[in-house]
Amino acid sequence: MANLRSAKKDVLFFVNEVISDCYTFLCLHPGKKDQEAAAIIEDAMALGENMFEQIANYPRDNAKAHFKQVNQKLLASTDELFQRISGLTK
């Protein structure tokens, strides 16, 4: 995540992947744990909004370090969401 444009693309990609996986789960398991899957989708959307806010308000003097921190937070948060999706199948 080196610049503003690629940072936004990364956020969109990961959030869309989480939402896509939730919808896949809902299609494969109708009526099972719908509320939990909906909660994960809401959390993914909130994560995306939060990340966009952090990207838009980056410090001009230390942008590279800020984008690196945002990238690490994005990866950790989406990993946690994917873990929650995996937990739905158990």
pLDDT digits (tens, 9 = 90+) for 55-74: 998 888 888 888 899 999 99
Instruction: State the Cα–Cα distance between residues 70 and 20, nearest whole angstrom.
Output: 22
Q: What local confidence, expressed as pLDDT, does residue 4 receive?
A: 85
Total count of domains within the chain:
1
Percent of the chain with pLDDT over 70: 98
Residue-averaged pLDDT of the chain = 92
* Strand positions, DSSP E, 10-72: none
Tell me which residue range forms the domain holding 48: 4-88
